[in-house]
Amino acid sequence: MSSWQFISVELDDFTAVITMNKPPANALSKDMIQELGSAMEQIMEDDSVRAVVLHGEGRFFAAGADIKEFTEIKHGSEFADLARDGQRIFRQIETAQKPVIAAIHGAALGGGLELAMACHMRIACENAKLGLPELNLGLVPGFAGTQRLPKLVGRPRAMEMLLTGQPLTAAEAEAWGLVNRTVPEGAHLDEAKKLAKAAAGKSVRAVQAVMELLQNAETDPIERGQEKEAVQFGDVFETKDAKEGIAAFLEKRKPSFNQR
C-alpha cells in the first residue's frame, strides 16, 4: 500500500483498516478525500483484502468538511466541482464489491456523515452524534447527503434532520435505521472489525454477488431484480466454493473456502 498524509491503511486478517488522521476533528479536506479514493482503488485491486473498516483517529470519526477551504473558493461553480469530486469518490466506496464498514465515535457530521452513509454498514459508539448541519451555515449537503439519507431513514425523518440541523444520538440513529447498531464507548472499532472478518470469511464470489444484487435492488423493478438474482444463483452454484459449502453443511463441519 502507498503512504498518505492524512490517512493510513493497515491489513488485519483479510481486512483493510483505513484510519483518517487529520487533527483535531478529521475534517474532510479535498486532499483527504482524494487520499481515500486512492486507497480504495488500491484496496479493490488487492485480492488479499476482502473487507474494509473505516474509522477516525482521535476524538471524532469526521466532524464535517474543512470549512477553512470554503473561504478560499470564490465562485459557486468551484463549489459544485468540489461536490462532484467528493460524490465520485463516495460513490466509489458505495459501489465497491467488498464490504465497507464505518466505525463511528465522537461525531459524524456533515461530510463525515455523508462519508459514513456511503459505507455499506455503520457501527456507532453510544456517545456518537450523527447529523447534517449544513443548513445552520446557510449551505446544503454536497456529497450526496440529500440522496442517501432518505433511503436510509425515510423522507420525513430526512427532512427533519436536514431542516433542523440537529444531530441524532447513536440510539436515535439506530432506531431510525441510520446505523446498524450501537456499542459501548471504545468498542466501535473492534465491533466493526468483527463484522468485517465475518464477511471476509465467506466465499468472495458469493459476497460480490450479494453486494451487486443489493445495490441494484435500490433502483431495479422487482421483476428485473428477481431475474438478476436467479442468474447469480446459478452462476455462484457453479463455483467450487459453493460445492464446498454444501458439502460442509451436510457433513456438519465448517467450510473451507478457497475463493474459487
Which one from 69, 94, 134, 212 is the annotated catalytic residue? 134
Residue 225 has pLDDT above 80, yes or no: yes
Dihedral angle of Cα 32, 8, 192, 202, to the nearest 10 degrees:
110
What is the pLDDT confidence band of residue 30, given thresholds at 50, 70 and 90?
Answer: very high
Whether cis (ω within 30° of 0) applies to the bond prior to 24 is yes
For the segment 227-250, the average pLDDT, to the nearest whole number, is 95
Residue 170 has pLDDT above 90, yes or no: yes
Is there a catalytic annotation at residue 45? no
Instruction: Report the candidate in 71, 15, 69 with the shortest Cα–Cα distance to residue 192.
Output: 15
Span 63-90, pLDDT tens digits: 988 888 888 888 889 889 999 999 999 9
- Please state, in angstroms and rounded to a whole number, the distance separating the CA atoms of residues 164 and 45: 41
pLDDT given for residue 70 in this prediction? 80
pLDDT given for residue 53 in this prediction? 98
For the segment 46-63, the average pLDDT, to the nearest whole number, is 96
Span 111-131, pLDDT tens digits: 999 999 999 999 999 999 999
Residue 1 has pLDDT above 80, yes or no: no
pLDDT given for residue 72 in this prediction? 83
pLDDT given for residue 218 in this prediction? 85
For the segment 152-169, the average pLDDT, to the nearest whole number, is 97
Q: Helices marked H in 46-169 — which ranges? A: 67-70, 76-94, 111-118, 145-153, 155-164
Residue 181 has pLDDT above 90, yes or no: yes
Across the chain, mean pLDDT equals 95
pLDDT given for residue 131 in this prediction? 98
pLDDT given for residue 233 in this prediction? 96
Instruction: Report the candidate in 142, 5, 11, 123 with the shortest Cα–Cα distance to residue 67.
Output: 142
Q: What's this model's pTM, rounded to 2 decimal places?
A: 0.94
Which one from 35, 69, 78, 114 is the annotated catalytic residue? 114
For the segment 192-205, the average pLDDT, to the nearest whole number, is 95
Residue 3 has pLDDT above 90, yes or no: no
Range scoring the smallest mean pLDDT among 14-18, 32-36, 77-81 = 77-81
Is there a catalytic annotation at residue 134? yes
DSSP 6: S
What is the pLDDT confidence band of residue 260, given thresholds at 50, 70 and 90?
Answer: confident
pLDDT given for residue 258 in this prediction? 82
The kind and range of the H/E element at 172 are: helix 170-176
* Structural contact between residues 56 and 19, judged by C-beta atoms closer than 8 angstroms: yes
